[in-house]
Amino acid sequence: MGTRAQENSPYSRFGIGDLLSQQNILNRAMGGVAIPYNDLQSVNFSNPASYAYLKVTTLDIGVDITSRTLVSGDPQEKFNSKYFIPSYVQIGLPLKKKGFWGMNIGFRPVSRINYDLETRTRLPGIDSVLYNYIGNGGAYQAYLGTGFGNRKISFGINAGYLWGNKNYTTRLVFVNDTIPYRKSNSTDSLNFGGIFVQAGALYRAELGRGRFLRLGASGSLQNSLNATRDVVRETFDYDANAGISVLDSVYRSADESGEIIFPATVGFGVMLEKEDKWLLGVEFNQTFWADYRSYGAAEDLRNKWTIRVGGQVLPDANGKSLWSRVVYRAGFSYGPEYIDLPNPLNQYLISFGASFPVRRSYYTNQYTSINTAFEIGQRGNKDNSLRENFWRLSVGFNLSDIWFNPRKYD
């Protein structure tokens, strides 16, 4: 077995690929707890009801660097890869200065497909063969959201466009010195896109002595995405530059219209808070991937659920020392992946991070902070033929300064 891909994840072959983190970097540091969370500055796209509490116009940008180690069982081999990608970019805006109404405009990648793998096997009574599996693509979202409510309860909605592509190639080469078998190439390319809608709600109850209970829920309905597909089956040979030279086209079809059924998702969470001191939360998410269909065909997918636990501590919100005003976070998550294997492909993750205040002015409402998250996880265990160990370092910039809040003159 070998690999030449920048990202060595054969599991990205399934569904719409490897699902990327669905939370703001601030929330990733707490194990991904996001549904019951909001504050005055961060833009929490996991629950659009949180937009109601935005008080400053904020540009929020996130970037990731991820390292993966793929481990095969028999024979045991390891393959490493690292890659850097943008995580999201969004602008949150308060729409009512003394009320509870806000909006968000954003863009983010949703999934990633990227692998280039080789396996060798022997076909009984024929010969040894080399299979080369290649895949690339991914999915993206552009969205507009709004949230509104009062001090205790708020509701919100995200609506936008989800689009992407899936490109899969399988090449078969007979390893034979005497018989000149022809090499085969099978390629499937699919493009898809459609509207998506996500709704959310938040509730905050005062418990006394500066303590609050937060409840949150969010979800989206199953929806249909329009798709077009190209299919190619051909024989080929490699040219002098290791490129593909087509010998004979066995089958070719272009622009086949169809649809992808994208599954519904639901999540809810609860959080206990001591205002400006600490908070602790837990949430549960489930996406019904067993309902996923591509051109009417089901794939080897199962419903995916995840439970997350995390929290944060703020030593002294008004402290003179920088370190006393840093927000420290930690958490963990657990749940099976959506790939339906005989042995469930469980994912374990622990995380920690911090928010560093760069500038804060109570007089001008100009805030700037740097959010960090470091996640360490594993997908699969020794019962799986392949397992992945990974770590991810994420950095987010919440920028709200004079160019986002122009001065007003009488």
pLDDT at 126: 67
| Number of CB atoms found within 10 A of residue 76's CB | 7
Residue 59 — pLDDT band, cuts 50, 70, 90? very high
d(CA 189, CA 56): 44
Q: Would residue 406 count as lying in a domain?
A: no
Q: Would residue 407 count as lying in a domain?
A: no
**Four-CA torsion 249, 255, 259, 260, nearest 10 degrees:** 60
Q: Would residue 148 count as lying in a domain?
A: yes
pLDDT at 396: 93
Q: Is the model's pTM score more than 0.85?
A: yes
Residue 6 or 266, more confident: 266
Q: Is the pLDDT of residue 104 over 80?
A: yes
The set of residues, in sequence order, having a beta carbon less than 8 Å from that of 297 and lying 6+ positions away, is none
- Mean pLDDT on 17-40: 92
Q: Would residue 308 count as lying in a domain?
A: yes
Give the residue among 224, 10, 194, 216 at the shortest CA–CA distance from 118. Answer: 10
Q: Would residue 292 count as lying in a domain?
A: yes
Q: Tell me which residue range forms the domain holding 273.
A: 2-400
Q: Give pLDDT tens digits for 193-214.
A: 999 999 999 999 999 888 999 9
Looking at the 3D structure of the chain, how many domains does it have?
1
Rounded percentage of the chain residues whose pLDDT exceeds 70: 90
Q: Would residue 213 count as lying in a domain?
A: yes
Q: Is the pLDDT of residue 404 over 60?
A: no
Contact between 32 and 351 under an 8 Å Cβ cutoff? The reply is: yes
Q: Give pLDDT tens digits for 287-319.
A: 999 999 999 999 889 999 999 999 999 998 888
Residue 70 — pLDDT band, cuts 50, 70, 90? confident
Per the prediction, the chain carries an average pLDDT of 87
pLDDT at 366: 66
d(CA 59, CA 46): 17
CATH number of 23's domain: 2.40.160.60
d(CA 373, CA 25): 6
d(CA 113, CA 346): 19
pLDDT at 56: 85
Q: Would residue 90 count as lying in a domain?
A: yes
Q: Is the pLDDT of residue 362 over 70?
A: no
Q: Which residues of 247-259 are buried (b: 16+ CB within 10 A; e: fewer)?
A: eeeeeeeeeeebb
Q: Would residue 409 count as lying in a domain?
A: no
d(CA 51, CA 61): 16
